[in-house]
Structure 1
């Protein structure tokens, strides 16, 4: 195919033709490296695009820009039909960049009231487009026609517009974009175009009514890379390689041809996840994709033959060895299956980017095994799971240590001055025998003979210069402690000149892998019994108050700061999962009239936790959330 080569930019708006300034290579436009466009007071199309006097519209800037320069477009709406024909050079490309304003929005090329009819790159080389939003009339396109070395990054195409790369274009990349509500295929690469890369995009068409069309179509376009996209094409084909499109790579995509979560019924034969035509199979690679089978149609079509499972597809074609045919959306929860998208991509696939479509770097989800290549932590599809924290399992509260009882020690005896207690924790009270990296406990000192502090540290390590709780002689003091586990044990050092009794209640444990992750969140007040709503009455003596937390999704546990206010008698507070028997454990201890606070990690049962006032008089409670544990 021939490539169209011209030397000037032509620009027109829907409101009329814009007069373009005549600018030579040595003219005023070459004076600065950035040309500014902003529809604001003081803008002018007769100037040179300075920051203080920017162009009002985009077309004059495009007519003036030189290789190596950048056109920065401020936030606002620009109802312009644009055709780009001016080229940069390989060493000095032209960049057209949208600038996000204080309101968090960038420039919009058209809007719903005045959609543009075209956004065309014709016969131009070495262009970069970044952070733009195109609202086009139905069935209009972002057209790349006979162009070379053109990239689009974080460009949204909305309201029926699509992307079309054609007429022998070469080395075009469309990355981290969004295409929605398309009327024709969201992405079409054809016309002998070569080396096109479509990577890390979200392609979504709602509904499945008449006129449903494929998501990504590559026809007669060899060596195309379709990698790490999330494609939803209801009751149609999600990704199609057709005609002379040999040498393609289709990897790390998440495709769903179902009607949302539903099957497509009579249209299921057309609802195919990945289609590779007979003339496109040579040298093409399909692997590491997630293909959603809920459409009821074939997961694959290879050279005209349908396949409903990954196993059958791989056995017949040698392709898709690491593909997964499974639902593309997985609800989180204690009984949910592992999400096949997470930490399972081929990091070494061509076209992979350092960040996802939202600009987020890959995150290792400790609740999922790493099965991908390279670091093993890349997710399939356009987005990385961001709902990730450290692997933590709430447990208990269960008493692990009480030197008065004895529990956790050979005999009942106070810890001597400057003495150490080594406590086994691995394999006890639900803590795994192996793989545990740390435990979280509520630690209490009682009956101390002298002022001092307690240091809790990994067993066998040199004792650090740190304290976990401090006390004065004769006072009971608790605190929540998270400590690494070494050799299955942790150590407690009594840094005081007198004896002290120690109590430790398990609140949870950390592991390198697990189903539950911790998420810092807050602080937010959840309860104050002194005021409405949710309060105005104290917790009675020996009474229990239950707090409903059902608004938090996939909840396994909660990290709270709990304060006992103005207790009428000496006692302690126990926080535990609703419905359980009140355990032999304490989260904070108090004296009459003494306001005491402590942090608490507690498992959640049926979205609720309970607070038991183990004292002979009422007390008020204040509860603040600082984080939660979720499946």
Structure 2
């Protein structure tokens, strides 16, 4: 064992491990791993002629830049600079020393060493690893310059673990103990301890956020005591430990408990998941609380003036009803407020689980299991609901309407800016906005996003060209620069209800090598890339990007400048066409058919009624188009047959180059047109069918790009949550990759696949796992080339795809997921 505190199963059965569909791919993988770590999906494997090469599992976050890892620079600040950051790392090769000054070049070995010297305004950065110590925080910050301790986040295999649990050789009482201090922040740690995780005793202006905590038997994970005040406990999570999440003792004041995911296992001592005793003015908002066969929330003693709003509350599991009810469920309640605490306490906009078998309320000693009865007796419960407490999309067939969505009180005190994962409130286009304010905030700790919508082909229409100012940005994009592009309310795209757009994005005239990331405007830039280039190269890629506020962002990850061109091909909204994925099939190959396409001419390709595509009702097709053997410079434009050829391009090439790009193009008269322009030569064109769009059917769920695999650094496997060690894909080998594991009825997934570290020419084929490899390709390269392409592929029934390396040399793969199709 590695000494890390392990997440607990909580007794769930394998089918119950899978969360509802209202989560991104990364959230799905993490929830599966945390709720049922033994419920693994497929094992990632590499196969060669029937042999299986199995890899051990674990995770290092993917590097953003291809070809070189994006690592922070090491070194000490100059002697005259104000030191605002201290560093801690006990990993091999860190050259740590507790007698040093905590620089990146020579960090402290323990967190306690940094805690002993930290000054107001400083941040202590603690690296990946396990730190079996109790950190006694005894130094204070100031109101304008708090002291911050931060770990690396909640990816299990790349986390910062502090403290120790029962059974270790030298158990600590707490991971962090804060006694009589002020203005301190603790965030992004995995914590454990035999007496709890974090103790806040007689302290003020304390922030605990983004931490993984687990209560142990008689010990709450977070304990606030000793007249502490202004303590904020926000965006933390517990996922099944055998004790309570939090306890606030008499004398504490001004405690805010917000946007936490509180899931306790079957409580060994019957303690509530969260208890507030004699702490006036406590605010409990937007938490998802699962009591695990105990009360979910108890408010007792002189805890007058408590505010309890926007929570999702269950004595079982609020978001999972696959397990049996507690045998003694009738003995527990969702919310208990005793007579002393009822004075001035407000209860409103909460959702209580109607399937947990427990009464919703115990108010001043009387139990109520209807909102009307509770309201009549206590005058509370405004907009409370006893009903479905699960996070589910409402647009999918057979899914009940969810009372959690777009229904919270946005005027409640203590709200966090984002949800448990930092996602901003977003409007569900299928659900009425019944909350206060904008009416789009969801109840509980999660904000449901990536709604299922339908495709509407357009154009193509040029939305952005920095060479001439189209789109509002004129001039090359600066190194590290970001372009914000409005995409709604223009060019035939509706002003509202749009969840994603599909564009062909081209970079040209780059002065240095680099990469491009396209992502939803307003989101934090993800660890993903859509395009990679060398200096002077012109290269395109199809991009389907989520839209949240009417704009998308383009980031230039280069030390040089670059021009950007973006052509719109369609958008997703509440009406339109559904994507039907097919096994790749070759529809066109001029090398063995019509002969090379002369530049200045076009091919009209029949797609309807061919190769499994219906003869009628098809609105668009998705093709992987490859050009090869060009005799001069040129470009290719795919557009609807019989319409005017647009000022747009899908591919650009130099003489002799082979280059692919995914194309989604509207279908008119059952055909699409492929035009070769830009020169006086000729070029061969290959087109492989990936799928087509029809009215009705399933929906597409766009999401912020998520890195799902990186063979250069290793990665966390989808489905199992295991660690795949860094290893190239050998010649003729296949990587089986779980991309939609944990998602029921997933029919297609949108991936950006990049090949790098290529030592010989080759090609890549992506196809459903368990099927025969088709005569089709998604990527082609020459030795030394790094090249991406978008791939839309149907996974197998468990959510896996196969990626075949058709090269004589090993390669590295980077795979980013930007959305998926359901139904």
Q: Does structure 1 residue 389 correspond to structure 2 residue 451?
A: yes
1:106 aligned partner: 159
Unaligned runs of at least 5 residues, structure 1: 1-27, 395-434, 443-469, 484-490, 525-530, 534-549, 562-598, 608-624
Q: CA deviation at 1:342?
A: 2.1
Q: CA deviation at 1:82?
A: 2.2
Asked if the contact 1:218/1:240 (under 8 Å) is kept, the reply is: yes
Asked if the contact 1:169/1:192 (under 8 Å) is kept, the reply is: yes
1:149 aligned partner: 205
2:132 aligned partner: 79
Q: CA deviation at 1:127?
A: 0.7
Asked if the contact 2:605/2:671 (under 8 Å) is kept, the reply is: no
Number of residues of Structure 1 aligned to a counterpart in Structure 2: 444
Counterpart CA distance in 2 for 1:323 and 1:102 is 34
Q: Deviations over 1:521-561 (max 9, x none)?
A: 99x9xxxxxx9x9xxxxxxxxxxxxxxxx989454876899
1:45 aligned partner: 98
Residue of structure 2 aligned with 1:121, choices 159, 164, 178:
178
2:514 aligned partner: none
Counterparts in 2 of 1:218 and 1:471: CA distance versus 1, 3 Å = farther
Q: Deviations over 1:80-107 (max 9, x none)?
A: 1222121111111111111359996232
Asked if the contact 1:236/1:271 (under 8 Å) is kept, the reply is: yes
Counterpart CA distance in 2 for 1:32 and 1:436 is 52
1:401 aligned partner: none
Asked if the contact 2:116/2:138 (under 8 Å) is kept, the reply is: no
- SS, match of residue 156 in structure 1: coil
2:87 aligned partner: 36
Residue of structure 2 aligned with 1:158, choices 209, 214, 228:
214
Q: Deviations over 1:290-317 (max 9, x none)?
A: 1113232211111111111222222332
Residue of structure 2 aligned with 1:64, choices 88, 102, 117:
117
Q: CA deviation at 1:274?
A: 1.0
Asked if the contact 2:280/2:302 (under 8 Å) is kept, the reply is: yes
Counterpart CA distance in 1 for 2:344 and 2:155 is 48
Asked if the contact 1:98/1:106 (under 8 Å) is kept, the reply is: yes
- SS, match of residue 213 in structure 2: strand
2:822 aligned partner: 630
Q: Does structure 1 residue 351 correspond to structure 2 residue 414?
A: yes
Aligned pairs for 1:301-450 within 5 A: 301-329=362-390, 333-386=396-449, 388-392=450-454, 438=576
- SS, match of residue 301 in structure 1: strand
Higher relative contact order (CA 8 A, sep 6+): 2
1:282 aligned partner: 343
Residue of structure 2 aligned with 1:195, choices 244, 254, 269:
254
Asked if the contact 1:42/1:54 (under 8 Å) is kept, the reply is: yes
Asked if the contact 1:29/1:66 (under 8 Å) is kept, the reply is: no
2:146 aligned partner: 93
Counterparts in 2 of 1:471 and 1:326: CA distance versus 1, 3 Å = farther
Unaligned runs of at least 5 residues, structure 2: 1-78, 457-572, 581-598, 609-617, 622-639, 646-666, 673-691, 709-731, 735-739, 752-790, 800-816
Q: Deviations over 1:130-189 (max 9, x none)?
A: 11111212x434111110000011122136251111111100011111234445532111
Q: CA deviation at 1:190?
A: 1.4
Counterpart CA distance in 1 for 2:294 and 2:156 is 38
Q: CA deviation at 1:226?
A: 0.6
Counterparts in 2 of 1:393 and 1:110: CA distance versus 1, 3 Å = same
- SS, match of residue 183 in structure 2: strand
Q: CA deviation at 1:267?
A: 2.3
Counterparts in 2 of 1:146 and 1:441: CA distance versus 1, 3 Å = closer
Counterpart CA distance in 2 for 1:384 and 1:233 is 21
Asked if the contact 2:209/2:233 (under 8 Å) is kept, the reply is: yes
Choose 255-264 or 223-232, whichever is displaced more.
255-264
Counterparts in 2 of 1:69 and 1:58: CA distance versus 1, 3 Å = same
Counterpart CA distance in 2 for 1:326 and 1:372 is 17
Asked if the contact 1:87/1:94 (under 8 Å) is kept, the reply is: yes
State the TM-score, normalized to the length of structure 1. 0.61
Residue of structure 2 aligned with 1:267, choices 328, 349, 364:
328
State the TM-score, normalized to the length of structure 2. 0.48
RMSD, matched Cα: 4.4
Q: Does structure 1 residue 132 correspond to structure 2 residue 193?
A: no
- SS, match of residue 121 in structure 1: strand
2:22 aligned partner: none
